[in-house]
Structure 1
Amino acid sequence: MNPFEDMRIFCQVMDSGSFTAAADQLGLSKQFVSRRLMQLEERLGVRLLNRSTRRLDVTPLGQSYYESALRLLSEVEQVEQGIAGQTIEPRGTIRLSAPLSFAVAHLGGLLPVFLQRYRDVTVEVDLSDRPVDLLSEGYDLALRIGVLEDSTLIARRIASIQRVYCASPAYLAERGTPVKPEDLHAHDCLPYGHSRQVQWRFVGQGKPLIVNVTGRMRVNNGELLKDAAIAGMGITYLPTFIVGSALKDGRLVPVLGDFHPEPLTLSAVYPQHRQGSRPVQALIEFLRERLDRTVCILSGDN
């Protein structure tokens, strides 16, 4: 019997959402994981999980045990790291999820530098604009842009990202230049996402303003929206790391400059059990160091 190993197994089952996924992450058989948790429940004399053919539901006592186990395991890991010495370099594999356009613009140049600095770290990167489920899909870390949903995940701010409303000179010459947000009702817009009703938020004269916008093209990828705007399809609203070069060379021009939207926040998000992971924390600190030196790194001015 190893209480700490049972805690690790239970926490992995909670994080993964199933015995099968937890067994894959731990490199154990599903039967072994299930048997160890049954033995854990017998030893404690309580039910931690309610099992069914479709899902696992944690009991109130199971949730309490999970939260306490996470704290204890984190403390044990910190003690071991302290004994081993802080001069030991991070080692291990980081499974990272990041937004496609942002990663192409910035991570391609940063990750090789990070890996050169930390020779014993390996990074597996998945690029996707969809919000991945870190726990069930086994990610150690995700980069997310914008407002975060409430969850048990830990979030750390990395940098601020500016956004801009813009269109091609040809489109504005044909359709006119909007001078206030309400003018967008008479324009073709290029909103991000697939929602039938899209709202753009503006800040002017100290108060927020929300405008419903429509257009003939909706895409969940900023690069395609940028290309559509350059082609004269309408007005778009994108981070400057996507449209920065087009603004610089004149293919796009900003509009509604007196109604600047608030910057977005780039956050590093990770599960609680990765709080003590030295590779994960090293990557977060590296990205904060490189991306938050100045906002212009993310604004297309570099």
Structure 2
Amino acid sequence: MNSAAAGALIKCISSESKLHIRLLNRTTRKVSLTEAGMEYYHRCQQILDDIEEMEGALTNLHQNISGLLTISAPPEYLAKNGTPNTAAELQGHSYLKYSGSDQDMIFSKFDIEYKKLRLKEKIVTNNGDFLVNAAIYGGGFIIQPTFITGEAMAEGKLQQILIGYEPPPLALYALYANRTFLAGKVRSFIDFASQFYGDTPYWDD
């Protein structure tokens, strides 16, 4: 028996002692799981899978959470170039474009046909924070979720334009494989996220 197998066997024996139940059938020739051992194994595997899934959800939390999608521009830019009051008045303005999104889909949500606007795509990047900073320094207008633009808008560095063209808020969903043996940590995380963000996330208050 190699050291890894021996270590696993020792831990299993320790668990048997703690649980007061036999998990393994042991003979001189082989070791096999008892019915209780098989159930114990499946439960442990479920816990490990749930933890891995939760860690993945936490890693991607920033990418998945969204609030309202707004069109924003800095006051100085608007003072110099004029404030669009209709979709058609966006034509000719400098657009700081997020490359990771479907422009036709986004502008259709604003009831605007993107290809007819003939915008000046001054910057194209997949970094929303970079676009916010570029907009603040007068680069043009951006379309970003309020969890990215909220602070700059609250400080007056960006101003929402075309109010009323906002699409419905984007929702946050918690996905997990099944409800059977749902780990307590996963349930706690789901409850925490639900209470923390609520119907209106804190950045939209």
Residue 240 (structure 1) aligned to one of 139, 142, 146: 146
Map 1:62-81; keep pairs closer than 5 Å: none
Tell me which amino acid in the other structure corresponds to 1:277. L
**Distance in 1 between residues matched to 2:137 and 2:59, nearest whole Å:** 24
In structure 2, relative to structure 1, the CA distance for the partners of 1:194 and 1:241 (3 Å cut) is: closer
Partner of 1:254 in structure 2?
Answer: 160
Answer yes or no: is 1:211 the counterpart of 2:119. Answer: no
Partner of 1:297 in structure 2?
Answer: 202
Does the aligned pair in 1 maintain the 2:109–2:167 contact within 8 Å?
yes
Tell me: higher relative CO, structure 1 or 2? Use CA pairs within 8 A at least 6 residues apart.
Answer: 2
Q: Would you tell me which structure has more strand in proportion to its own residues?
A: 1
Tell me which structure has the larger Cα radius of gyration: 2
Residue 182 (structure 2) aligned to one of 269, 277, 300: 277
What SS is found at the alignment partner of 1:216?
A: strand
In structure 2, relative to structure 1, the CA distance for the partners of 1:298 and 1:250 (3 Å cut) is: closer
What SS is found at the alignment partner of 1:269?
A: coil
Number of aligned residue pairs: give it.
155
CA RMSD between the two structures: 3.3
Unaligned runs of 5+ in 1: 1-72, 78-90, 104-128, 130-143, 146-159
What SS is found at the alignment partner of 2:56?
A: strand
Q: Would you tell me which structure has more helix in proportion to its own residues?
A: 2
Unaligned runs of 5+ in 2: 1-38, 44-49
Q: CA deviation at 1:202?
A: 5.5
Q: CA deviation at 1:92?
A: 5.7
In structure 2, relative to structure 1, the CA distance for the partners of 1:289 and 1:194 (3 Å cut) is: closer
Partner of 2:174 in structure 1?
Answer: 268
**Distance in 1 between residues matched to 2:70 and 2:98, nearest whole Å:** 13
State the TM-score, normalizing by the size of structure 2.
Answer: 0.62
